[in-house]
Amino acid sequence: MEKKEPVLQLKHVTKRFGEVAANEDISLDVYKGEILALLGENGSGKTTLMNLISGIYFPDEGEIYANGKQVVIASPRDAFSLDIGMIHQHFKLVDVLTATENIVLGLEEEGKLDLKKSAARIEEICEKYGFSMDPSKKIYDMSVSEKQTVEIVKVLYRGASLLILDEPTAVLTPQETQTLFGVLRNMKQDGKSVIIITHKLAEVLEISDRVAILRHGRYITSMDTDKVNAQELTDAMVGHAVSLNIERPIPKKPRDRIVVEGLTVKSEDGVVKLQNVGFHARSGEILGIAGVAGNGQKELLEAIAGLQPIESGSIRYLDEDGKEEELVGKDPQAIMELGVSLAFVPEDRLGMGLVGNMDLADNMMLRSFRNGKGIFTDRKAPRELAEQVVEKLEVNTPGIATMVRKLSGGNVQKVLVGREIANAPTVLLTAYAVRGLDIHSSYTIYDLINQQKKSGVAVVYVGEDLDVLLELCDRILVLCDGQVSGIVDARKTDKQEIGFLMTSVGGGTDAQ
Amino acid sequence: MHSKTHDKTPVFHISRRTGLPWQKALGIRFAGIVLALVVCGFITMAATGLNPISVYGTMIEGNFGTSRRIWMLLQNMSILLCISLALAPAFRMSFWNLGGDGQALMGALGAASCMILVGDRVPGGVLILLMVLASIACGMLWALIPAFFKANFGTNETLFTLMMNYVATQLVAYFIIRWEVPKGSGKIGIINQSSKAGWFPMIGGNKYLLNVLIVAVVTILVYVYMRYSKQGYELSVVGESEPTARYVGIKINHVVIRTMLLSGALCGVAGLLLVGGTDHTLTTTIIGGRGFTGVMVAWLARFNPIVMVATTFLLVFLQGGSSEITTIFGLNQSFGDIITGIILFFILGCDFFLNYKITRSKTGKEAA
């Protein structure tokens, strides 16, 4: 351990935003040829710290040393010249250009632009680290994982020896994640250092050599991965012991609540998003929806919620007495007026579920503003509901008069879920309910979903973490390319089967 | 690898403020105005050699010097505020209504047409009622057309409302020629000068008081509407996020059209107040660009109707003041505009300091 040489050292680095210290007095070393996992709850300052290293933010205090020399990183260009490259969560690629063109874009190389030579060098890099990529393919023809490959190769092409990856696996299938990890291991062999931010503990344990933990903007500790387990990591991250088991009660008297048949949805430009989808969502049961992001999950939930124009098919709602209502062709207000209490936690929380520029109380009002007397809104009930949600779900906010966009991701989600379950729903639709949430908040959300299940709500849970889907749901529907490729019993299946269904259009066995 | 480059360390950096106490915010605004006056003072001295104190004195004199001037100030404020109040809900809805001029002009046309066509044939009260209805209907129509196309075909409302202004001007120009008095003059002149039919009643012998009172009531109504009504809430949600509006079942097209009808109606009222209340005539320039000044009033006040009273005062005061100094000191008209421009620049500049603060880097000192 002693002879390891640090390629990057942070000493007493502090970054404040207003009164809030996002990073406070952080000292951290990164060694040559290691994979360091950066772990921490949301708002613990991981991304801020990485942005300091990659030149997006500038520290208020503290020093940064690269290869033993003190350096100033005032811009991403400075970071590049220090061979530091960051792969952001949101890709920064030009769609109409090829992989090669994207990779050389912005590089100031001597002489004429020689794309053939660049392509050859790219092939070389791919070969060396085990990427599979076609340098002449256009970005718009690429899958998410291919785009990510382009981003990584771009950084390597520029000669980076320290790579920072911000939640790289969030958008990948299990198989793609394995490929990525293989590449990361090859880089390690080559003496490159990698910092990886991820929320998934299983991945931390699998890929990293060392784990550094941040909590509330402070550096807590770093541990060698082979000497810790998931429970220890969680405890260190949260600061107290947390139970990692997700409860899964047996559904009580499940009855069909939503029956979808032959549902076909097209996007505005005529692309088929869902094709002939059919399933039953039952009361007191959690139906998981698995699939690679963008395979129709969003459209499916929005179709049920009355937000998608529907080509053909039917979505029927069955109430307690077995009375049926057709939801196709009705907008959210019409569905509400039918007496169908439908709660929907959409994927884009601030873009669809909430209004970022309004405060907590006004956001509660989104569902209830029509209840006021005459032409006026009732402001008292939403304010009380906001107080309740803040208290019950432990929302961390200065008060209910704070604008929602100023809250952290986990708190935003608590506000949204709190409002949606306040109306005693009979159907709860959630899309990526824990995306971007830390462990603690995620478990709060799982608990809330389970409570709804126990009180007889039909829950549809669109998720991306297969481990969670397998633990939380009763049945899992797998979508691939807008079609149902299988509905399986979550208690009897495994990751391999689901991973296979996720990539086989319409294939697999239908358990229904 | 690069060698040490400490010179790149920024000397200061800018960060976002959170939770600025209102006293401090007010202080920053006040400092901005003081600074603006000082800068204007230097520019006045450098450019004209006049004593800035006497120039400012003249500006105050021009607005408050006589009771007539005070009433003029109030009247100008009323009309500008009325149009600004009309624009505020549309802007809050993120519907960029630049057609305030045209909508108000159509309102004026509506009122004037009643006075001219049926002025002597119906009792006074009925005539005024007709004027009210006609001006509101005309203003609404002029707002409805772009709103309809926006809601149904997604047209660009900025261009559409802007172009509607020119159509309104041409339309009014046509009617002025039709109704010109005397023939061939190209003007309408004072309408019903002898019968005073359709002239708004004076309150306590004061010509402007009624307008001021009406706009005061409108201000309160718009404030309550935007803040406490369901419709006001709906239009805010639509303005902030259309997907969220759809998510809770708000019918966006419906809200767009409804809000623009309100916007047009209030612009129509502004036209009515000008024709019926004070000017008693119709010209193509009767609105005087207030549809655009109103955009500034509304934005400066962040669409808060109560704050808009203050921003209206500021703009009307500057306008009145600068025209006074150009006459008294024999300066070019542009000089008043320069002063107005500088003052507005500083007031808008305050926003930067309200939202951000500048701190010296500690790293810079340590590294040096």
Whole-angstrom distance, CA of residue A449 vs CA of residue A454 = 9
Instruction: Report d(CA B333, CA B323) in Å as an integer.
Output: 7
Which of A395, A423, A451 is the last residue in one of the domains? A423
Q: How far is CA A498 from CA A170, A470, A479, B324, in A?
A: 17, 9, 10, 80
What kind and span of H or E run contains A10? strand A6-17
Has residue A454 been placed in a domain?
no
Is the same domain home to A115 and A215?
A: yes
DSSP sequence for B328-362: HTT--HHHHHHHHHHHHHHHHHHHHHHHEEEEE-H
Structure tokens given for A167 = 């939640």
Would you call A355 and B244 a contact, using CB atoms and an 8 Å cutoff?
Answer: yes
Describe the strand order of the beta sheet including A312-318 as a list of residue ranges: A272-282, A256-266, A312-318, A324-326
pLDDT at B165: 97
Distance of alpha carbon B160 from alpha carbon A359, whole angstroms: 33
Name the residue with higher pLDDT: A203 or A107: A203
Give the CA distances from residue B337 to residues B37, B318, B320, B343, in Å, rounded to whole numbers and listed in that order: 14, 9, 11, 10
- Give chain A's domain count: 3
Residue ranges covered by each domain of chain B? 14-50+333-368, 68-328
Closest-CA residue of chain A to B20: A18
Lowest pLDDT segment from A300-314, A392-406, B78-92: A392-406
Minimal-distance CA residue of chain A relative to B225? A376
Of A132-136, A367-371, B231-235, give the range with the top mean pLDDT.
B231-235
Give yes or no: residues A24 and A134 share one domain.
Answer: yes
Q: What angle is formed at CA A385 by the lines to CA A379 and CA A391, rounded to 5 degrees?
A: 140
DSSP state at residue B206: B
Q: What tens digit of pLDDT does each residue of A421-459 get?
A: 998 899 999 999 987 777 778 888 999 999 999 999 999
Q: Are residues A210 and A140 in the same domain?
A: yes
Nearest CB neighbour to A18, from listed B16, B231, B248: B16
Quick check: B248 and A351 CB within 8 A?
A: no
User: CA of B92 to nearest chain A CA: how many angstroms apart?
Assistant: 12
Nearest partner of B264 among B100, B112, B130, judged by Cα: B100
Percent of chain B with pLDDT over 70: 95
Q: Which residue's entry shows tokens 């607005």?
A: B63
For residues A164 and A263, state if they share a domain.
Answer: no
Residue B359 has what pLDDT?
Answer: 74
Whether A324 and A364 share a structural domain: no
| Listed residues A207, A238, A269: the one ending a domain | A238
Shortest Cα distance, chain A CAs vs residue B109, angstroms? 32
Same domain, A185 and A315: no
Paired tokens of B126: 């009925």
Does residue A150 fall inside a structural domain? yes
**Residue numbers in B near A371 (CB within 8 A):** none
Q: Which one, of A296, A298, A292, A295, lies nearest residue A173 by Cα?
A: A292
CA distance A315 to chain B (A): 18
**A375 & A305 share domain:** no
pLDDT at A18 over 70: no
Given A183, A211, A238, the domain boundary residue is A238
Interchain pair A59, B18: CB under 8 A: no
pLDDT bin (cut points 50, 70, 90) of residue A11 is: very high
Q: Whose CA is closest to A236, among A202, A211, A205, A213?
A: A213
pLDDT of amino acid A408: 78
Chain A hits for B366, Cβ within 8 Å: 61, 63
| Separation in Å, CA of B17 to nearest CA in chain A | 6
Residue A473 and residue A461 in contact, taking contact as beta carbons nearer than 8 Å? yes
Range of the domain at A193: 6-238
Sorting pLDDT into bands at 50, 70 and 90, what band is A143? confident
Class of B68-328 in CATH: mainly alpha
Residues A190, A141 within the same domain: yes
Average pLDDT, chain B: 89
Contact flag A376-B230 (C-beta cutoff 8 Å): yes
What pLDDT score was predicted for residue B2? 43
- A496 with A389, same domain: the answer is no
Instruction: Determine the pLDDT at residue A45.
Output: 85
From A290's Cα to the closest Cα of chain B, the distance in A is 23
| Minimum distance, in Å, between the CA of residue A244 and any CA atom of chain B | 34
Residue of A nearest to B243 (CA): A352
8 A C-beta contact, residue B69 and residue B285: no
- DSSP labels for B280-332? -S--TTTTTTHHHHHHHHHHHTTT-HHHHHHHHHHHHHHHHHHHHHHHHTT--
Cβ of A17 and B230 within 8 Å? Answer: no
DSSP assignment of A232-298: HHHHHHHSS----PPP-PPPSS--EEEEEEEEEEE-TTS-EEEEEEEEEEETT-EEEEE-STTSSHH
Q: Which of A225-229, B166-170, B234-238, B268-272 has the weakest average pLDDT?
A: A225-229
pLDDT single digits (tens) A463-493? 988 888 999 999 999 999 899 999 999 999 9
- A372 vs B251: CB contact, 8 Å cut-off? no
pTM of the model: 0.80
Q: Sign of the C-alpha dihedral, residues B277, B278, B281, B287? A: negative
- Per cent of chain A over pLDDT 90 is 49
Over the stretch B113-142, which tens digit does the pLDDT of each residue have?
Answer: 999 999 888 998 999 999 999 999 999 999
Chain B interface mutation, best of A268, A352, A373, A419, highest count of B Cβ atoms under 10 Å? A352
Which residue of chain A has the CA closest to B16? Answer: A18
Strand partners, A324: A318
> With contact defined as beta carbons under 8 Å apart, do A213 and A21 qualify?
no
Determine which of B5, B8, B234, B244 to mutate to test the interface with A (most A C-beta atoms within 10 Å): B244
In a domain, A14, yes or no: yes
The answer to whether the CB atoms of B15 and A81 lie below 8 A apart is no
CB contact under 8 A, A370 and B228: no
Listed in sequence order, the residues at least 6 apart from A455 whose beta carbon sits closer than 8 Å to its beta carbon are none
Going by pLDDT thresholds of 50, 70 and 90, the confidence category of residue B230 is very high
Q: What is the pLDDT of residues B271-330, one digit of tens each?
A: 999 999 999 999 999 999 999 999 999 998 989 999 999 999 999 998 888 888 888 888
Same domain, A335 and A398: no
Q: Which of A305, A332, A377 sits opposite B229 (nearest CB)?
A: A377
Q: Which residues are A130's β-sheet partners? A: none
Question: Looking at the structure, do residues A261 and A366 belong to the same domain, yes or no?
Answer: no
Pairing of strands A84-87, A69-71: unpaired
Residue in B with minimal Cα distance to A406: B18
| A58, A69, A82 member nearest B10 (Cβ) | A58
- Is residue A246 assigned to a domain? no
Q: CATH number, domain at A337?
A: 3.40.50.300
Q: Which two tokens stand for residue A206?
A: 């699998």
Task: Say yes or no to pLDDT of A324 above 60.
Answer: yes
A315 and A209 co-located in one domain = no
- Say what the pLDDT of residue B153 is: 93
B152 pLDDT above the threshold of 70: yes
The reply to whether A397 falls in a domain is: yes
Cα–Cα distance, A41 to A213 (Å, whole number):
9
**Which of A60, A332, A398 lies at the smallest CB-CB distance from B248?**
A332
